[in-house]
């Protein structure tokens, strides 16, 4: 079903502070930044110096406002932490159909827009071993 681990998402309060921390302390570099209004997040994708097409990235997610999913998560968790795991898929419609057939709840009836124009959906954490599981299909020009 899955190509690789696309990224692990970390919820943070402040995107700039978190970028500074992860680049200065751990030596990551920033591969991409964007704001996703629909998801209520400012995000940054971080990679290693030897990033390969299928190397997992770290995604920093900061809330845009108090209604953001990430704002709620930070409050409930009592601070920053690991909010999601994301698998890359080639055909998200087919994968969502298969997972639904297997009895798992997908959060959206149809995929929404994620990082870099990817098509995304999520498996409910209660159906994925307590982990919010994102599925992402990168846009055709970015697919490896
Ligand atoms: C909630 N729960 C989680 C969880 N969020 N468990 C593991 N990981 C998480 N991230 C648990 C709660 O502890 C609770 O368990 C139960 O799920 C129901 O929680 P809730 O009170 O209904 O929580 P809500 O209202 O925050 O909703 C949770 C839900 C929401 C997963 C539906 O966070 C959501 O819609 N997430 C998908 C969108 C998203 O996360 N967007 C931000 C990333 P108990 O046992 O207490 O009942 S955007 C992104 O990732 C994009 C940009 C991209 O990568 O392309």
Residue 143: predicted pLDDT: 53
Residue 142: predicted pLDDT: 67
Name the residue of 73, 81, 138 whose CB sits within 8 Å of the most ligand 1 atoms, as the mutation to test its pocket.
Answer: 73
Instruction: Using the predicted structure, report yes or no on whether residue 49 has a pLDDT greater than 90.
Output: no
For the chain, how many structural domains are there in total?
1
For the sheet containing 29-36, what is the strand order? 29-36, 41-47, 57-63, 4-11, 81-88, 133-137, 119-123, 112-113
Residue 34: predicted pLDDT: 98
- Structural domain harbouring 9: 4-142
Per-residue confidence band for 141, with pLDDT thresholds at 50, 70 and 90 = confident
| 24 CA → ligand 1 middle, Å | 29
Chain segment 97-106, per-residue pLDDT in tens: 999 999 999 9
4-11 and 57-63 as β-strands: parallel, antiparallel, unpaired?
parallel
Q: What is the ipTM of this complex?
A: 0.97
CATH of the domain at 94: 3.10.180.10
């Amino acid at each position: 079903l899955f190509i690789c681990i696309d990224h692990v998402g970390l919820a943070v309060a402040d995107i700039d502070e978190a970028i500074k921390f992860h680049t200065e302390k751990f030596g990551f570099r920033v591969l991409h930044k964007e704001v996703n209004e629909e998801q209520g997040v400012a995000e940054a994708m971080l990679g290693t110096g030897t990033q390969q097409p299928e190397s997992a990235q770290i995604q920093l997610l900061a809330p845009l406002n108090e209604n953001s999913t990430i704002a709620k998560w930070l409050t409930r968790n009592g601070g920053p932490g690991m909010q999601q795991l994301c698998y890359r898929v080639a055909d998200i419609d087919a994968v969502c159909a298969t997972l639904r057939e297997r009895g798992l709840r997908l959060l959206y009836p149809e995929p929404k827009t994620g990082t870099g124009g990817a098509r995304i959906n999520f498996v409910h954490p209660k159906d994925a071993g307590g982990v919010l599981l994102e599925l992402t299909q990168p846009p055709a020009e970015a697919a490896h």
